[in-house]
Amino acid sequence: MYGANPPYDSRQGFGRGGNNKNNPPKSPAQAPQAPQAGAMSNSPSLSNSLAIDNLATNDPDAPKYFFQEKYAPLNVRGNFLTLCACPKNVELGEWLAHQIVEQYRLLHGMLQVIQEVNGVTGLPICNENTCPTMSAGRLTYTWLVDGRAAKISAPKFINRVEKWIVSKIHDPVMFPTEKVNGTPETASMRDASGAPAAASSATPTDPISPAGTNGNAGASTDEWIGQSSGFPQHSTRTARMFRCYAHLYHAHWLNPFWHINKHDILNMCFVHFITVAKYYQLVSDKEMEPMQPLIDLFIKQQRVPPEALNGGHWAQQQPAN
């Protein structure tokens, strides 16, 4: 499994590592311009591999090849639940904090692909021209600017998301590092006590759902993961990470991920993210709608394990009948 390693080898870059036996999908509008996978250069640098710069990859009418099973492989085998479920003697808050940091590490690796500058044009693949809004198909995400929802370009949106996540990770209030008085709660302690997590009555109104409120559908407003070790109730937000994945697929699956034969790594990172998000109920079902066909496919294939569905962590805490 890939847990301890980055999602790609930076020493080799993102150049094609071999011939792709599948015929690359071509959008009718893109067919004259989009390069054939077999015709790609073997240069180790992505910037030298892509001769196109302003190709309109962010086309809401483009075919969604990534929703088809034949275009949805993974480059790993195994059950992602082994990377997701909290070990029995690890404190729950610390474990969830680790999960959030790990998910950001993987997402950051994928975002670097579209942020690498094209050596010919001097522009990244995801730029103001190709992606004037942060969108996933026909859905456009907005950012709060001066108290109002505003449409901003995808590069600006992603940059703000990354800065926001890093700031939260390094915030000792959101991710406490001080020694905690008392006994922090572990999974084994909760199993022994049999204390259930009460169902939440919160109405999902905020599309960016914080864990412990709208994000944790199985958690009550007075009980949340990490409470005993000083983690605040609003300590983790993962919906913004999901929105980045949605944009990567809808706007950049063909260019560059398919063209450089790295779509399987993108799938790997996404499946891991969805497994964590569903197991701990960190992202609402409504938020996941732009990627639901692919999520359903991975659930059908049991890439997202059944134990993670419907809040696997919270389901384990319910008392037996």
* Count of other CB atoms within 10 angstroms of residue 113: 22
pTM for this model (two decimals): 0.72
Q: pLDDT tens, 253-278?
A: 999 999 999 999 999 999 999 999 99
Q: Does 84 belong to an annotated binding site?
A: no
What average pLDDT does the chain have?
Answer: 73
Q: pLDDT tens, 276-316?
A: 999 988 899 999 999 999 999 999 999 999 999 877 666 55
Amino acid at 50: L
Helix (H) or strand (E) run with residue 145 in it: strand 143-145
Beta bridge partners of 149: 144
Cα separation of 103 and 114, whole Å? 18
On whether the CB atoms of residues 236 and 106 are closer than 8 A, the answer is no
CATH fold group of domain 78-315 = Butyryl-CoA Dehydrogenase, subunit A; domain 3 (1.20.140)
Q: Does 250 belong to an annotated binding site?
A: no
Q: pLDDT tens, 66-122?
A: 999 999 999 888 789 889 988 888 888 888 889 999 999 999 999 999 999 988 889
Query: In which residue are the tokens 């930076």 written?
Result: 10
In 139-167, which positions are buried (b, 16+ CB within 10 angstroms) versus exposed (e)?
eebeeeeeeeeeebbbbebbeebbeebee
* Count of other CB atoms within 10 angstroms of residue 320: 4
Burial of 79 (0-12, 13-18, 19+ CB in 10 A): middle
Q: pLDDT tens, 163-188?
A: 999 998 888 877 887 765 555 554 44
DSSP one-letter code for 149? E
pLDDT cut 90: percent of the chain above it: 44
pLDDT at 182 (0 to 100): 53
pLDDT at 1 (0 to 100): 41
